Structure 1
């Protein structure tokens, strides 16, 4: 690397890369660490891809998979991780580099790591590299040669990675953790808190990269029969990418991809949990996730084979969004595409109520108000304000149901153009629903208030955000409650000068803490681990009581499996 003559330097580097897998040298890990840094900072630099780095990395991974004695020697345990990371970095952006990697036979060794033949940290970088190779048209087929195995492994990893990382790292005592895992996570900085934070971030990345790899096949309508299994579709509802990977497709992104395929639509329409999740996310404050969910629902409604399976559930949800500035018109067209056909249907279904309400709001009422004089419009607006005030008084006096009636009358009277007034009335009625314990009605009204405020005010209606966060909390929908609460806090803070003066309300902090704990990626794994430990303790006590002997032997036996798991290769 220090050679000044570029031609001589390249010749030496090519020779070094060629000989590296054939030698057994304790300095190998330093060389790989240096190449890793270069690949990470200069992934588009063609120098090393042209010098044969892919062939070198593939051989090193194969050596690690085949020769366990070599892997345990010196610090060679780090080499497969660095090698797979280097492949992933160089194939991330450039299809030409990806083609070179495939010609250098990197796919098979990467699959070896994906199988978990070493540990979970190597699975992470293998998923990343295979995902990049599968995302390029030129190299997708090379990955698809092993389609069934790769998709199956990726699905399993996406569903179980949180349990794997918790059981093999986060849930262990500091002294039990594998040293080279700790070093990879913290780069020598150390500290239990930092290790746990990085492990959480890596677990989320593993899940997101597994979903990205699956998504590469789903977008090409490959392996849909495998991907669309009911259990996996239900698992997708829990995979949201968290707040660490905002660009990840997450579970909702993969569901949206499946909704663009006929097989996917039919499978999703039959899974109640997925439909419920789509409906919840379609009203999210996270615009990116919201639009993915709305697009998925619209695809289901446009397909005649799934429209009438889902419309009873979907129509009332989308009806709350027809006045949203960005997607309202698309929702309106899709909901009402066959309104006149089902208008005179004898069956009185939920969809008829929702569709009729949308028709009256966006068609009939618009026509009526266009023919109404300006003076009458103003009178109706004034009367709506009076009714709103009466509703406020009823609410203050504890007559909640009467307040709901007053707000409903005000909404019916208030002109469509008086958006700010309608936002307040919907939000006030939502507060009444919260007091009455009707979370669904509160979510509906706050969503309508937020839809009206989108595109018309500087920020979303704060009270509606907080009230919807409370309503979602009441229903146990922790993710959407958390997102609403975070957006509520962000809207309160405003400018930098305001942030210096304002403090985050205690009630909002409490809500964030509650929902962060509920949505923590390791929440289920921790609960399962506690349950397992409790069961082991019960067995110990029973053994002691029945046999009157020392329980240490039983403790060793019940922990034997866990101890065996810890005998993973370490430096």
Structure 2
């Protein structure tokens, strides 16, 4: 159980081991003497009480961060030393609260994680040095969330290496349960234990670790937000290591946790994190994972939303849906939800280094199209059938027809399509929105498939019509088609903005924010004022601690009215000062 750490330290002890000795050892020029003295120092460090241990660990931490592949310290007993220091901090509270020893478990776990990050042989040496049990103690929350973060990081590195993954087998159930719990609750935990507290209530050593002794209240908040995101990211990464080896799937695939995964972003600043979508993608490569996800409508819907957004993990959502549709066991459980969304992506070319994505989607969607069309399976809704027929007509029938159509006839169709587009625009500016939709649809039916730019504009115009008609789904569908035609490198900015508005209309703030961000990036320094205001509103809605803050307000109703009209920055400042 976590305990509260007082701000002051206890009595000083005799200097049995001077920190300056360690830095003198590092300056030793004779290699054999240096190695012998370093090994001796590591062996004795955990046995002695020295108020300057933290300075030594801080120095080792910097070395481990800058030279994680240097074999010197790992070969001389650094892992055994760090494991013993963590165990001492967890089991001997009086020692932990003496001098600045409260920092020691954090630095020790961080050092273990840094040296095991890329080198499997270092990870094997760490496991042989018995680091797992001390890291588990931190993972259990024996000290605080700050130590949990670095413990998860170290455990994740041990789990990623094939050579050391099996060493975690004895603790598998506890690790999975701890990681799922931390991933689900860490944002509330960090908010309640740090962000939501007044300046005077925050633990001093947490503040020092977050800002390295520099910066004020706002910097502490920014770093706490970053660390909370990392805490969730490392939890998901650890679970990913087990899921990709198809281990403990029953524990990971609990319905309550799978539903929460959809909201676990992984942080905008950390695109390398598997995030919630990334873990769902990994699970979709397993039979149990596919069946579990297919039974949860809201999870499939979330995958559909991300697949049609500007999220950097769009390709993960697409891949997950393709896996669900490829499996005959799960295909008809998800087709009514997935097919309409994926049908908008059949003209997508490349995304995240994957080529001909749209073609792959088309093949999966039309895999048993004739079966659905002829037998009229009751498992497929009318909407699904209609969307599949549209895909078949465009990607199969029209392709065949246009191959045998003369050049003159194609020119005539292009000219007529342009006329219909102009008529649609006249209807639009005349306020006849529904009539404009009809004209744009007729123009799309005639416009040759190879005229991608012209069709992009038509889909974009129709998306604007659907926005005015309050048809959010129609606007998302057409805006997505326009963006697929424009390409990822130079996305159609108007369609980004329209889809962002449509997602906002549906209450999907995150998807709306991602499109808004991409739209603003496309504008460069000429950011429209209306976009900046919209962006700020979505940022407040999607703030990492938005849910935790709402719970905080429920506990402190007297503050709710005070901060009701304040911005995000001012809101946090008010809580810090009062």
TM-score by length of 2: 0.90
Deviation at 1:176, TM superposition (A): 0.6
RMSD of the alignment, in Å? 1.3
Separation (CA, whole Å) in 2 of partners of 1:508 and 1:11: 63
Separation (CA, whole Å) in 1 of partners of 2:215 and 2:534: 31
**Mapped pair 1:160 → 2:185:** yes
Cα contact 2:553–2:560 (8 A) shared by 1: no
1:334 pairs with 364, 369, 372, which one?
Answer: 364
Separation (CA, whole Å) in 2 of partners of 1:536 and 1:147: 43
Deviation at 1:218, TM superposition (A): 0.6
1:374 alignment counterpart: 407
1:64 alignment counterpart: 89
Separation (CA, whole Å) in 2 of partners of 1:359 and 1:278: 23
**Mapped pair 1:2 → 2:32:** no
SS at match of 1:512: helix
**Mapped pair 1:519 → 2:542:** yes
1:491 alignment counterpart: 522
Separation (CA, whole Å) in 2 of partners of 1:121 and 1:142: 25
Deviation at 1:512, TM superposition (A): 1.3
SS at match of 1:121: helix
**Mapped pair 1:426 → 2:426:** no
2:373 pairs with 343, 346, 354, which one?
Answer: 343
Runs of 4+ displaced beyond 3 Å: 535-538
Deviation at 1:34, TM superposition (A): 0.5
Separation (CA, whole Å) in 2 of partners of 1:382 and 1:285: 33
Cα contact 1:166–1:522 (8 A) shared by 2: yes
Deviation at 1:537, TM superposition (A): 11
SS at match of 1:247: coil
Matches within 5 A, 1:201-212: 201-212=226-237
Cα contact 2:86–2:109 (8 A) shared by 1: yes
SS at match of 1:304: coil
Matches within 5 A, 1:454-533: 454=487, 459-493=490-524, 499=525, 503-533=526-556
Deviation at 1:311, TM superposition (A): 0.4
Cα contact 1:204–1:244 (8 A) shared by 2: no
Cα contact 2:553–2:559 (8 A) shared by 1: no
Cα contact 1:182–1:190 (8 A) shared by 2: no
Deviation at 1:393, TM superposition (A): 0.9
Cα contact 1:472–1:481 (8 A) shared by 2: yes
Q: 1:399 to 1:536 in 2, by over 3 A?
A: closer
1:227 alignment counterpart: 252
Separation (CA, whole Å) in 2 of partners of 1:265 and 1:462: 35
Separation (CA, whole Å) in 2 of partners of 1:537 and 1:454: 45
Q: 1:512 to 1:537 in 2, by over 3 A?
A: closer
Q: 1:300 to 1:177 in 2, by over 3 A?
A: same
2:479 alignment counterpart: 446
2:565 alignment counterpart: none
State the Cα deviation string for residues 269-322 of structure 1 (Å, max 9, x = none): 111111111000111213x41110000000000111100010011111110000
SS at match of 1:146: helix
2:437 pairs with 358, 383, 404, which one?
Answer: 404
1:16 alignment counterpart: 41
1:55 alignment counterpart: 80
**Mapped pair 1:290 → 2:314:** yes
Matches within 5 A, 1:20-35: 20-35=45-60
TM-score by length of 1: 0.91
**Mapped pair 1:276 → 2:301:** yes
Cα contact 1:237–1:251 (8 A) shared by 2: yes
Separation (CA, whole Å) in 2 of partners of 1:453 and 1:54: 53
1:131 alignment counterpart: 156
Deviation at 1:186, TM superposition (A): 0.1
Cα contact 1:183–1:190 (8 A) shared by 2: no
Deviation at 1:535, TM superposition (A): 8.6
2:211 alignment counterpart: 186
Separation (CA, whole Å) in 2 of partners of 1:361 and 1:535: 59
Deviation at 1:536, TM superposition (A): 11
1:265 alignment counterpart: 290
SS at match of 1:203: helix
Separation (CA, whole Å) in 2 of partners of 1:419 and 1:378: 15
Separation (CA, whole Å) in 1 of partners of 2:553 and 2:247: 39
1:299 alignment counterpart: 323
Cα contact 1:236–1:252 (8 A) shared by 2: yes
